[in-house]
Amino acid sequence: MPTQATAPTAGSDLMVRAEQVHKSFGPLEVLKGIDLEVRAGEVCCLLGPSGSGKSTFLRCINHLEKIDAGRIWVDGDLIGYRERGGKLHEMRDREVAAQRRAIGMVFQRFNLFPHMTVLGNVTEAPLLLRQEKKAQARERAAELLERVGLGDKLGAYPGQLSGGQQQRVAIARALAMRPKLMLFDEPTSALDPELVGEVLDTMKDLARDGMTMIVVTHEIGFAREVGDHLVFMDGGVVVEQGDPREVIAAPKHERTQAFLAKVL
């Protein structure tokens, strides 16, 4: 159970704050005390080898994985728990679901509904979860699909699209819920190399528009160009963090140096 900590102060520009986040799967301790702060409008890139805990931490931010200790706040709200009398109590599923509506997530795999059109995939959640009117949801979806370069694919089905196009639909679907925070879990890792650029370009546009983003990625060029903050993780801990250009050009920790030497 998370331990007591101090919540972000009112008026803070912190969008995400994590304090001493721990997570284990059985005897395997995956996260060993993660501290992280991401300010509103920032792009934070998480780098590290496979098994370092990056994706697990990302899933903890929206309570897809329950943490064993520590706390995570998003926009000042404690995620997954409420505090009463100095003790934390886990929220009900519907309360957690309500929190998740403000946190968009894009996975490695696109997870689109194959039996629905592109337009249907993007309008489904706003209709069901936000109770938007159908005309409003369709108009918003069409605008988002135009924004990600798929304005001519509204009637297409996922099976008729390339992997890069499907991932851009997944991004539009997440944006349709009007999130305050976007989480990306290696969004280009399942794509053929020639399709990676179109997805990264969409993410760059989001960054230029001021969307707060946490991105688990191996795309060093994206981190260098777009990131405001870079966090290198290994073995369930934050090894090094700072300005992406500085960390990439001159990493201070030998573990970061060894990792970047292999991927650059």
Residue 38 has pLDDT above 70, yes or no: yes
For the record, the structure tokens of 205 come out as 């546009």
The Cα–Cα gap between 103 and 99 comes to 7
Cα of 3 vs its chain's centroid, Å:
24
The Cα–Cα gap between 111 and 43 comes to 24
Cβ neighbourhood burial of 168 (10 Å; 0-12, 13-18, 19+) = buried
- Lowest-confidence region among 2-6, 30-34, 78-82, 125-129: 2-6
> What is each CA distance from 187 to 31, 105, 120, 195, 235, in whole angstroms?
22, 10, 21, 11, 22
Angle between helices 134-147 and 118-129 (to 10 degrees): 130
> Per residue in 149-158, is it b (16+ CB within 10 Å) or e — as a string?
bbeebbeebb
For the record, the structure tokens of 61 come out as 């931010």
Residue 88 has pLDDT above 70, yes or no: yes
**What is the mean predicted confidence (pLDDT) over 195-209?**
95
First to last CA, the chain: 40
Q: How many CA atoms lie within 13 A of 11 on its CB side?
A: 0
pLDDT at 1: 47
Give the percent of the chain with pLDDT over 70: 95
Give the percent of the chain with pLDDT over 90: 88
**What is the mean predicted confidence (pLDDT) over 201-213?**
96
Residue 228 has pLDDT above 60, yes or no: yes
| 77-78 and 69-74 beta bridge pairing | antiparallel
pLDDT at 84: 85
What is the tens place of the pLDDT at every residue in 107-125?
A: 988 889 999 999 999 999 9
What is the tens place of the pLDDT at every residue in 160-183?
A: 999 999 999 999 999 999 999 999
**What is the mean predicted confidence (pLDDT) over 122-144?**
95
Cα of 231 vs its chain's centroid, Å:
14
19 phi and psi, to 5 degrees?
-125, 120
Residue 25 has pLDDT above 70, yes or no: yes
pLDDT at 46: 98
Residue 9 has pLDDT above 60, yes or no: no
Residue 264 has pLDDT above 90, yes or no: no
Residue 186 has pLDDT above 50, yes or no: yes
